[in-house]
Amino acid sequence: MIMKTILVLGLVSFLNVTVLAANNCNPPSPKQLQRSQAFLQNTPCAPMVNACNPGSPTGYVLGCHSANGRGLVVDCMEKLWKGAAVSGVNMSPTDPAVAACKSFCHPSKGVNNCREEKGVADR
């Protein structure tokens, strides 16, 4: 009986965390939007960040990939780096800013200067 209670409580906790995480970026909070706008602003990636995250709830936001598929790096920046257009983003994959940012973020194989760690760009 104790084991069943622990399992049920664990499952309820897991579901609560999952629901909260899923709603965390749908729509993103003003703080999440601000954090995304500040990400990599003093680097060659600033034009891409501004194009992907125009400071609105419909933009691509740091940490929102798993919640709603609109993560700044995974769903916008990386798609542009790979030559794909991104829905709702007014930047072409052939824009020189895309190449400059990609070069800054990935100067050599396996290195990513644009990771986010604890809310701060890991440069």
- What's residue 16's pLDDT? 35
CA-to-CA separations, 39 to 67, 70, 98, in angstroms, rounded: 19, 15, 16
pLDDT band at 33 (very low <50, low <70, confident <90, very high): confident
pLDDT of residue 45: 94
Q: Provide the residue range defining the domain that includes 102.
A: 2-122
78: closest CA among 98, 62, 57, 55? 98
Confidence (pLDDT) at 52 = 93
Domain count, the chain: 1
Hey, what amino acid is at 19?
A: V
d(CA 22, CA 39): 22
Consecutive H or E run containing 62: none
Whether pTM exceeds 0.95: no
Going 112 to 113 to 115 to 117, the CA torsion angle's sign is: positive
The sign of the CA dihedral 38, 41, 43, 48 is positive
Mean pLDDT value of segment 53-79: 88
